[in-house]
A and B are shown apart, each in its own frame.
Chain A
Amino acid sequence: MLIETFYRQIGSEIVTNKSFKFSMAVYKLHYFDNPRRGHAELSRLILSQAGVPFEDVRFPHSEWPNMKPTTPFGQVPILEVNGQMLAQSNAIARYLARQHGLAGKDDWEQAQTDMYIENINDLLNAVAVPFVEKDPAKQKEMYGKFMTETIAFHVVAVEKQLKKNNTGYLVGDRLTAADLAYYALFSDFIEVKFGGAFLKDAPLLKSLLVRVRTSPNVKKWIDFRNSKYYPDGNE
């Protein structure tokens, strides 16, 4: 549809060119300015992949005491859609994925997509424990255990599913929010922090992560956000 193409064009313009003032954006995503990815990144990836414009609001922690009471549950990220608020990072991601064709082509594929997003949620919750550990020796031990036990196990399991699905993608035959979620954790966090050795026996997962990273709209977003938010290098 011509109009859709026009909007998608505009959408990627908005995401990459901050001086482009265009109040067509229906979405306002609110999150802290730090962490720079955290629980908001999956939604940003979904919107970017779909070529949908959004206002990417990142506020300093000093503003949080004022903002907190205005949120449904005292937490961010929050998605504002035409004045209404949606909380919970995964509910937001799921809603956006569904609205913009990234949640699988039918109910069963949507359920599979949900399943993978929730896998990532569990892994994020697991890594949050060492992440906040103050004792460096203890933290190192916990991270070590996370990688050799939790991640190693999961990588074997997901490699098996990828083999079974046999399309190169986690769900169905194309990119969905599930693939974006795995990219966000495995590439954007784990590979950056621990290196890629954990992928040595997982060629399908490895090539999926590359496929996501090099997918045109995702690449555009990553290049933009890295130059804008990580001038000191990716972290």
Chain B
Amino acid sequence: MVHYKLIYFNLRGRGELARLILHHQEVAFEDFRFEREEWTKYKTGTPFGQVPVLEVDGKPLAQSNAIARYLARQHGLAGQNEWEQSQADMYVDCIYDLISGTRPIIHESDKEKQKEILQKFLKETVNPHLEKLEQQLIKNGTGFLVGKSITWADLAYYSFFSPMTERFGDSVMDNSPHLKKLVEHVANIPQIKKYVETRPKTTL
């Protein structure tokens, strides 16, 4: 049996999607977490000075999406055929862009300015995306983003939008009933629910 070691900060952040995939598929793994202060200790051991890193029987793989995609493919959450796989990729890439968009907000120390950047981000980036996303969900017609069953794309949207509503309130998905339903569905999946209840509580 292959041994997975996922190395990341003790945060959700860019490591959480891989964790969700593994928990959803009930695949055992070493969920190695370290605190921010220990970063310099681990940084030099990574291929590109970044985490997450996934060690597969000791062989390292970097880049959060490459890791998540590999795990999704190995464990049946990537889509039923190559076209579906690329659709799932597309959605996860959208989430990657949204995550990147939150960085200036997270790093802004001035509370007033932070609020301003956040509002701009919601108005100019998140909301237009959600409008399109609702159309895609309606078009697919199954409740899931891709095909007829859950893929890592759905977990990626849950992974981003669940903390968003935690932090900024339910109104984030006010105009996105289909996404809201999808996020709730994922939240209530037994394996996900159990993991979320027992995982370390972290700010990000």
- A interface with B by C-beta (< 8 Å): 72-74, 81, 84, 86-88, 90-92, 94-95, 98-99, 107-108, 110-112, 114-115, 118-119, 121, 125, 153-154, 157-158, 161
Hey, which chain B residues are within 8 Å of A74, CB to CB? 128-129, 132
Lowest 9 CB-CB distances: which A-B pairs, in order? Answer: A114-B66, A95-B86, A91-B89, A88-B93, A111-B70, A91-B90, A115-B66, A118-B63, A115-B63
CB B130 to nearest CB in A, in angstroms, measures: 10
State whether the Cβ of B73 lies closer than 8 Å to any Cβ in chain A: yes
The total of Cβ contacts below 8 Å across the A-B interface reads: 78
CB A195 to nearest CB in B, in angstroms, measures: 24
- The contact of A86 among B47, B67, B86, by CB within 8 Å, is B86
- The contact of B48 among A86, A94, A154, by CB within 8 Å, is A154
Most A CB within 10 A of own CB, among B67, B90, B96, B133: B90
**Are A111 and B47 neighbours in the complex by a CB distance under 8 Å?**
no
27 sampled A-B residue pairs with Cβ under 8 A: A72-B132, A72-B136, A73-B129, A73-B132, A74-B132, A81-B83, A86-B86, A86-B87, A90-B89, A91-B89, A91-B93, A92-B86, A95-B82, A98-B82, A110-B70, A111-B61, A111-B70, A112-B66, A114-B63, A114-B65, A115-B61, A115-B63, A118-B65, A119-B48, A119-B62, A119-B63, A157-B48
State whether the Cβ of B11 lies closer than 8 Å to any Cβ in chain A: no
**Are A88 and B90 neighbours in the complex by a CB distance under 8 Å?**
yes
Determine the distance from Cα of A91 to Cα of B97 in the docked complex, in whole angstroms. 13
State whether the Cβ of B171 lies closer than 8 Å to any Cβ in chain A: no
Determine the distance from Cα of A110 to Cα of B83 in the docked complex, in whole angstroms. 16
Q: Which residue from chain B places its CB closest to the CB of A160 in the assembled complex?
A: B47
- The contact of A114 among B47, B56, B70, B100, by CB within 8 Å, is B70
State whether the Cβ of B172 lies closer than 8 Å to any Cβ in chain A: no
CB B81 to nearest CB in A, in angstroms, measures: 12
